[in-house]
Amino acid sequence: MSISKQSGDGRAAPLTQGSIVRSIVSFALPMLLGQFLQQLYNMADAWVLGNFADNGAFAAVSSGGNLTFLVIGFFNGIAVGGGVVISRYYGAGDKDSVSRAIHTSFLFGIIASVLSTVVGLLLIPQLLVLMNTPDTVLPYSLTYFRIYFGGVFTVILYNICMAVMQSLGDSLHPLYYLMISSVLNMGLDLLFVAAFHWGVAGAAAATVLTQGVSFLLCLWRMCRVKDFTRLDLHRLRLYPGILPQILRQGLPTGVQNAVISVGNIVIQSNINSFGEYAMSGHGAYVKLEGLVFLPIMSMSMALPTFISQNLGARQYDRAKKGAVFGIISGVAVAELIGLLFLLAAPPALGAFVDQAEAIRFGTIHARTVAPFFCMLAFTYCAGGVLRGCGRSFVPMVTMLAFWCCVRVAYVTLAVRAFPVFQTISWAYPLTWTLSSIVLLVFLLRSDWAHSFDRGAPHAA
């Protein structure tokens, strides 16, 4: 029996019904706002530290994204796999399998939280040294990451809950909870850093506490719904028929996240070799890129759920039309953003750092990579389509080959021949373009939608 158009608690209709454009856009918009609020976590830390602490504290936090993503990115990839499996069964109308997939994903998140805490606390000091972190920045980095990974379970479990809710077509409630926690985060940042002068320790504590609030709100919501999607903590187990599917869909993305983070750590070590201002300038750029690229990230996050639900319902043409719309709109918006960013980079960077030398480094990087945002968008959106149809191995191999192996090889060799900061910046457009070409060829030459028939669930 198929799932009804609207559940008893008011959940949105499945993405298998109605206008394709309206379905994707209405689902992606709350995700866009939610991603914006998540960026506010990082931006609030950066802005407060940039204005109420010294440059070393700002450099420590702004350059640490690759380290945090190295540890939690693997498990967040598994969360993506869980979302694909849940979406597929939801589209197929298999209520019992939806429930088992939800409980398996949540228990796996608990296990992942424990592992991430241990791994993070053990590895971070050694990784910071290997990254050539300047002596002036290292104490700040150690303080920040020890607190962050001490409470990293709040980050991972929130992402698990958000993936589950979004896989069911609910992108609104995670947004509401992020609104609450974002306001709280800014308030705690100002209290801990500006008023109490706790520096990076205050910024880390604010992030952990407010992510914990988001997680608890999501958990409360998941436990109180009245239908088959309700989370019952007594039913938590790793269901044998479900866990292999989640791992099969999520492991490629998790491995991809972790290995690419290793590659980016190598890149960051080269950036660090140019000094504290290069770190600050590049870190400010990363904050801005995370903000201006949100529309494309939201589209790439919406596509796996849309594709998976429609393929689960055997609506192949609808899935393909949605994929075309998502990719084309994502690429067009990205290039427009890139051109605007190209012009506005210096004053935008100045919102985070006030040192002219740091702004100079950030501007060099921004003006090198921004014209190629269309390639970055294509890679993300095409990867989202392939994950939605259960082909996560393809974007994994493609991105590992180019975003990790080629990128690291290029930087290692090119910086020796041309020891200027812009040489590092060119690594990104080069590898974005190569990965886009490969994924385009795969999408055009493969019948990816009908390959979903192998092992796809049928409605119960």
Per residue in 399-454, pLDDT (tens digit) is 889 988 999 899 989 988 898 899 999 999 999 999 999 999 988 887 766 554 44
Q: Tell me, what's the pLDDT at 11?
A: 52
13: pLDDT confidence band, cut at 50, 70 and 90? Answer: low
Q: Could you report the per-residue pLDDT of 321-371, keeping only the tens digit for each?
A: 999 999 999 999 999 988 888 888 888 888 777 788 888 998 999 999 999
Of 22-26, 84-88, 444-448, minimum mean pLDDT range: 444-448
Q: Could you report the per-residue pLDDT of 252-272, keeping only the tens digit for each?
A: 888 877 777 777 778 888 888
57: pLDDT confidence band, cut at 50, 70 and 90? Answer: confident
Q: Tell me, what's the pLDDT at 218?
A: 93
Structure-token match 């012009």, residue found: 343
Q: Could you report the per-residue pLDDT of 142-167, keeping only the tens digit for each?
A: 999 899 999 989 988 998 998 899 88
Cβ 295 vs Cβ 337: under 8 Å: yes
3: pLDDT confidence band, cut at 50, 70 and 90? Answer: very low
Cβ 34 vs Cβ 178: under 8 Å: yes
The long-range contacts involving 183-192, CB below 8 angstroms and separated by at least 24 positions, are 184/209, 184/210, 184/213, 185/40, 185/41, 185/44, 185/210, 186/40, 186/44, 189/44, 189/45, 189/48, 190/48
Amino acid at 223: C
Q: Judging by beta carbons within 10 Å of its beta carbon (0-12, 13-18, 19+), is residue 458 exposed, middle or buried?
A: exposed
Average pLDDT over residues 57-72: 71
5: pLDDT confidence band, cut at 50, 70 and 90? Answer: very low
The CA distances from residue 425 to 118, 276, 364, 415, in Å, are 33, 17, 8, 10
Average pLDDT over all residues of the chain: 84
Average pLDDT over residues 294-310: 87
72: pLDDT confidence band, cut at 50, 70 and 90? Answer: confident
Structure tokens at 195: 């008023």
119: pLDDT confidence band, cut at 50, 70 and 90? Answer: confident
pLDDT tops 60 at residue 56: yes
The long-range contacts involving 319-328, CB below 8 angstroms and separated by at least 24 positions, are 319/388, 319/389, 319/449, 320/449, 321/20, 322/20, 322/23, 322/24, 323/385, 325/20, 325/21, 325/24, 326/24, 326/299, 326/300, 326/302, 326/381, 326/384, 326/385, 327/378, 327/381, 327/382, 327/385
pLDDT tops 70 at residue 12: no
> pTM here?
0.74
Q: Tell me, what's the pLDDT at 340?
A: 87
2: pLDDT confidence band, cut at 50, 70 and 90? Answer: very low
Q: Tell me, what's the pLDDT at 427?
A: 93
Q: Judging by beta carbons within 10 Å of its beta carbon (0-12, 13-18, 19+), is residue 378 exposed, middle or buried?
A: buried
Structure tokens at 411: 């930087």
Residue 458 sits at the vertex; the CA angle it makes with 165 and 384, to the nearest 5 degrees, is 45
26 φ/ψ sector (left φ>0, alpha ψ -120 to 50, else beta): alpha
Q: Give the contacts of 235 (CB within 8 A, at least 6 positions apart).
A: 99, 103
Q: Tell me, what's the pLDDT at 8?
A: 42
Percent of the chain with pLDDT over 70: 91
Average pLDDT over residues 376-381: 93
378: pLDDT confidence band, cut at 50, 70 and 90? Answer: very high
Percent of the chain with pLDDT over 90: 30
Q: Could you report the per-residue pLDDT of 125-144, keeping only the tens digit for each?
A: 888 887 778 788 888 889 99
